[in-house]
């Protein structure tokens, strides 16, 4: 099953490469990966998604925790959580029918058209991965030129939080 793992990491030289290296070294796959400094600049927050059963997820969490630079590791899929991913997609839109259909599609999915040229529309859409997949499927026949996805960012619901 899909796992969303959140990591709080020292924002140090080589820290990210240790996380990424761990996955290839131990034979796990990374499906998506996002990383950026937090409000505390000495820390990075990293979200990655991977596939695995409970035993594998437990082992991944333990292995990540063993890295000297990691402060917290949480498998968000263990509890209620929110996941969001950003999608930017450039679509061929020369035909006025396509432009109309695309606009309504973007509205239905609550996205935004953020760039327009005589021949293209660029759409921005945020949501969970399934929603982004559904949008891409809905517009594929119109002629997709480019797809950019940010990878998943996640946070737990309710009172739980990950902080040092």
Partner 1 sequence: MELLSGGDILIRALRDVGVKHVWGYPGGAALHIYDAIYRQEDVVHLLVRHEQAAVHAADGFSRATGEVGTALVTSGPGATNAITGIATAYMDSIPLVVISGQVPSSKIGQDAFQETDMVGVSRPIVKHSFLVTKPEDIAATIAKAYYIAGTGRPGPVVVDIPKDVTEPNYKVPYEFPSEVKMRSYQPSDKGHRGQIKRAVKTLLEAKRPVIYAGGGVVIDNAAEHLIAVARKLNYPVTNTLMGLGCYPGTDRQFVGMLGMHGTFEANTAMHHADVIFAIGARFDDRVTNELEKFCPLATIIHVDIDPTTVSKNIVADIPIVGTCTSVLKEMLSLIEQSGNTPDGEAIGQWWQQIDEWRAKHGLYTASRYEPSGGDLIKPQDVIKALYKVTKGGAIVTSDVGQHQMFAAQYYLFDKPRQWINSGGLGTMGFGLPAAMGAKLAFPDTDVACVTGEGSIQMCIQELSACSQHNLPVKIINLNNAALGMVRQWQDMQYNSRYSQSVYEDSLPDFVALAEAYGHVGMKVTKFDELEEKMRECFAMKDRVVFMDICIDRSEHVYPMHMPGGSMRDLWLSKTERT
CA 95 to chain centre: 32
In whole angstroms, the minimum distance from the beta carbon of 71 to partner 1 comes to 5
Q: How many CB atoms lie within 10 A of CB 61?
A: 17
Nearer to partner 1, 43 or 93 (CB): 43
The DSSP-derived string for 54-66 is HHHHHHHHHHHHH
Nearer to partner 1, 3 or 109 (CB): 3
In whole angstroms, the minimum distance from the beta carbon of 16 to partner 1 comes to 11
In whole angstroms, the minimum distance from the beta carbon of 6 to partner 1 comes to 15
Nearer to partner 1, 66 or 157 (CB): 66
With both helix axes pointing from N to C terminus, report the angle between 54-66 and 15-25 in degrees, rounded to the nearest 10. Answer: 140
HSE value, Cβ hemisphere, 13 Å, CA-based, for 121: 24
CA distance 76 to 78: 5
Nearer to partner 1, 21 or 79 (CB): 21
CA distance 47 to 49: 7
Nearer to partner 1, 25 or 100 (CB): 25
In whole angstroms, the minimum distance from the beta carbon of 68 to partner 1 comes to 4
In whole angstroms, the minimum distance from the beta carbon of 60 to partner 1 comes to 10
Query: Which backbone phi and psi does 17 adopt, to 5 degrees?
Result: -65, -30
CA distance 121 to 20: 35
Q: What residues make contact with partner 1 under the rule CB under 8 A? A: 10, 13-14, 17-18, 21, 25, 55, 58-59, 62-63, 65-66, 68-71, 164
């Amino acid at each position: 099953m899909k796992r969303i793992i959140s990591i709080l990491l020292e924002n140090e030289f080589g820290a990210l490469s240790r996380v990424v290296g761990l996955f290839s070294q131990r034979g796990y796959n990374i499906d998506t990966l996002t990383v950026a400094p937090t409000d505390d600049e000495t820390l990075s927050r990293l979200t990655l998604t991977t596939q695995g059963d409970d035993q594998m997820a437990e082992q991944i969490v333990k292995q990540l925790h063993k890295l000297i630079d990691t402060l917290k590791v949480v498998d968000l899929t263990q509890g209620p959580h929110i996941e969001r991913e950003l999608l930017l997609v450039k679509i061929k839109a020369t035909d006025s029918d396509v432009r109309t259909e695309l606009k309504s599609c973007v509205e239905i999915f609550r996205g935004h058209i953020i760039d327009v040229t005589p021949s293209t529309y660029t759409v921005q859409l945020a949501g969970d991965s399934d929603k982004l997949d559904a949008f891409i499927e809905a517009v594929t026949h119109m002629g997709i030129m480019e797809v950019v996805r940010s990878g998943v960012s996640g946070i737990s619901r309710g009172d739980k939080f990950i902080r040092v």
